[in-house]
Amino acid sequence: MKISRKLYSYYLVWPALLIYCVFFVLPAIIGLFYSFTDWRLDRVGIKFIGWENFERIFTDKTLLLAIKNTLIFAVATVIGKNLIGLALAIGLNMRLKSRNMLRAIFYSPSILSVLVISIVFTPMLRSEGTINRIFESLGLDFLSQNWLTDPQIVIWTVAAVSVWQHAGFQMAIYLAGLQSISKDYYEAATIDGAGAWRSFRSITIPLLLPAININLMLTLIGGLKVFSEVFVLTGGGPGNASQVVGTIILRSFGEGSWGLGTAVNTLLFAAVTIIAIPLLIFMRRKEVSE
């Protein structure tokens, strides 16, 4: 009876664990196997080719550009979403009469479909679009750019749109963290003569580490797995200038290069794991130490 009671909690977990293994773990293992094959639409048999697909990834210029763009997008969005989200949270944590309305306004873009965002931003980002017209009306013509057709800046444009859409979501997490911090800490710091910056550095940041940890992980994983923003805004263009790993996977499967597509997907999974897990461990240790 005692053993049965100890195992009771596991009985509740096993169904969910079984579903997870069948629909996530097993396909991942099968995909890992196919990434080492020449699996293609135009071939009947499948032959084991070892590391050839992975060698192609690191020798093909388009694939290397996609990896570079993915890293640029991830870094830009992690920094942008967290800095802007934290700034909004701090500002809207103050006693403003309109703070509830402003919170709703800044959060609302995060619940919109990426397709809706693209419909709104595509005409705005054209060379004759709203954004360039605003710059011109302010006498800032030098800031006008071909936002979606210039290969040098197109991935940064897509990243900026993503930051605009999702910074409000990070704001909500930071805001919840800020509201959980007792006001007594700040009152004690004021009595000890600490200024606003000292209180922010010594009280707010340490006690906000759980929220920072969550937001860093969400934005990092989301940045590395980017697909929708690029697909709906540029389709990977102009040319291949804004291709990312996600769009390369889609293109590979669309062209029938299924072995290459699974290899790229496997590489993406490995990259997310290698980057995210050490960061998570580091942030958890910082939480404990603080």
Model pLDDT for residues 151-181, shown as the tens digit of each residue: 999 999 999 999 999 999 999 999 999 999 8
Considering the domain boundaries, does residue 18 fall inside one?
Answer: no
**Domain that includes residue 249, residue range:** 60-289
pTM as predicted: 0.90
Position 96 scores a pLDDT of 82
Percent of the chain with pLDDT over 90: 51
Considering the domain boundaries, does residue 99 fall inside one?
Answer: yes
Position 186 scores a pLDDT of 85
Considering the domain boundaries, does residue 2 fall inside one?
Answer: no
Percent of the chain with pLDDT over 70: 97
Considering the domain boundaries, does residue 35 fall inside one?
Answer: no
Position 288 scores a pLDDT of 60
Position 289 scores a pLDDT of 63
Please compute, for residue 34, the number of CA atoms within 13 A of its CA located in the half-sphere on the CB side.
18
Position 290 scores a pLDDT of 59
Considering the domain boundaries, does residue 90 fall inside one?
Answer: yes
CATH number at residue 118: 1.10.3720.10
Considering the domain boundaries, does residue 11 fall inside one?
Answer: no
Name the residue among 119, 246, 107, 94 with its Cα closest to residue 170. 107
φ and ψ of 227, to 5 deg: -150, -55
Considering the domain boundaries, does residue 41 fall inside one?
Answer: no
* Number of domains the chain contains: 1
Considering the domain boundaries, does residue 234 fall inside one?
Answer: yes
Average pLDDT over residues 146-153: 92
Position 263 scores a pLDDT of 92
